Chains A and B, each alone.
Chain A
């Protein structure tokens, strides 16, 4: 099962490699990882998407907690939360399908952020399902490049699953 794990860590040299090293050293997989500073510049926030059965996820959260620089570990699956990911997609549609591409992007609340004679670059944010659906729709348009940020997640206020 897929889990999104949110970490608060000391914003110190080498912390990312401690976290990444834990996953590689123990054979856990990382589907995506995103890192950024929090309001307190001494603390960073990491969102890691990983998968495994209950026992593996339990080990992952315990092992993360055991890292000296990790302040807090939250398995988002246990909480009501919002998850988002952003994609930048460069497509090269045939001239007669360009408008159609923009139309689809609009339906998905995507934004055209760059365009050239031959290409369009679309920014789109959303849940995994939405992004997958969007990418599938765009496939026939000729996807040239696709980059994704990895998921970020935040809990909803005052609710517990």
Chain B
């Protein structure tokens, strides 16, 4: 039976087991949307901005592990997806974005709502297609999902010209995918893994640095086994949080610019780094020249370009983290019956001493709400079990520092691109992927305004997403840099006119709550978590508060700045270690 391109497209999505599409309609995709009107298997979730649709698809992917899907129109619809695609690309998130396109005979003519979206997104997606022939459409959809979800995952864009979705042909679903120029390597080199096992056995001061690749590969179990087997402390990059239980005694929290003192000290003093599914981002390494000066480096990553890009390594292992760790763990178990505890005793004692020296802490107050206190209470009340998304800025760093993630796929943040406006739509996508979970966006008052229109999406879909706005009336992170490095000249970072977020929430039909004093924080959180609706919580926090520790740009990661008010440990602000 002949089918139209639009029918083939939707049928192909069903073959790929897609259930949710985040999207926004327009001229050239009208025929596709018409089919979706009474489709029983595919649910289109109408966002209020195409950027929101792509971030929602991204959040959906991070929670479910499956490719997120977005569908938008040509021209402005397509260009509005770019930030979302670049965000997913930097964080290796599997996603397929479908954009409408003007009919093939008009392409290149500056037709109404024409944009060369394939050209525009070429450098910020894993791959993209212009489906200019209906005969190839099913195969292109199949390839798109295959490319997005295999190897190092990433976003793929498929541009669908109007005439192709209108044309008719026989539907043939390709039973298997084979792209001769794309065959990711999954198995690590045996010899290199053996070398890695030897190095680990000999090391006296090793540290595991785990990144987002561990989560993408589904290798948390293997990573945790490696750490426990060899008694090796683990630090997790921003993207890696949750791949090892944050409350475990071997956890060092996050390294780098706003990382913990003990993670950075451990790296700088280590004799071996086992880097797993991470890419030595500059926010992790600080100055390269002085990074981990005494350490040999084992680097496991599925993407060969990640290896030796920023840092020389001793044992490069290209392969899927899960498979490599499985082999490595087996070697370590078989080869070596040694008792690790006595070997590591001294090193772990040193690590504990660093933990005691500068625990993650902040100066408490009874008068003003400290943003870290809010995050801490969110952690406490949710027992570390919520899905947390963030915006970008101080809110993101405090969430990373003070929420202890126990499991993978409960932490969604724009790590690589640092996209303000990510968290709220991502939370919406996350809630679709995990309807029974508590999903909380920890936000800044600046960032939340970048996709605040998605309140409508949350409300109409009855999503009980919670947004905790750490409202400091500033673009806080930028203000922090201005305070520290630009003589407190707060150029264009004061948000003097900020909307009344409670009223904004109410205007959309959501619930708005506010806390202005520390004593109101817990009651507001408790109430919000009780209500089965979209809730905005406006926490009026201390605007002076800064993210610490901090490694200034261009410094070595053991040159950290600390909060002086804690250092002095003034009477009222008692020092407080966070468990």
Residues of A within 8 A of B (CB): 9-10, 13-14, 17-18, 21, 25, 55, 58-59, 62-63, 65-66, 68-71
Contact = CB atoms under 8 A, between A and B. Distances in A.
Contacts of A68: 126-127, 147, 179, 181-182
B122 A17 contact: yes
A59 to B, nearest CB: 6
21 contacts: A9-B181, A10-B181, A13-B130, A14-B118, A14-B130, A18-B122, A21-B122, A21-B123, A55-B308, A58-B308, A59-B305, A59-B308, A62-B305, A65-B304, A66-B303, A66-B305, A68-B126, A68-B147, A68-B182, A69-B181, A70-B181
A65 B179 CA distance: 14
A13 B127 CA distance: 13
Interface of B: 118-119, 122-123, 126-127, 130, 147, 179-182, 303-305, 308-309
Contacts of A18: 122
Contacts of A14: 118-119, 122, 130
Contacts of B118: 14
Contacts of A65: 304
Contacts, number: 35
A71 B180 CA distance: 7
Contacts of B122: 14, 17-18, 21
Nearest to A14: B118
Contacts of A55: 308
Contacts of A9: 181
A21 B127 CA distance: 13
A25 to B, nearest CB: 5
- Sorted nearest first, the 5 A-B pairs with minimum C-beta distance are A71-B181, A62-B305, A68-B127, A62-B304, A68-B182
Contacts of B303: 66
Contacts of B130: 13-14
Contacts of B123: 21, 25
Given A14-B119, A62-B304, A68-B179, 5 more contacts: A10-B181, A59-B305, A63-B305, A69-B181, A71-B181
Contact of B119 (A10, A17, A25, A69): A17
A114 B119 CA distance: 41
Nearest to A64: B305
Given A17-B119, A71-B180, A59 B126 contact: no
Nearest to B124: A25
A149 to B, nearest CB: 26
B248 to A, nearest CB: 35
B396 to A, nearest CB: 26
A116 B303 CA distance: 57
Nearest to A60: B305
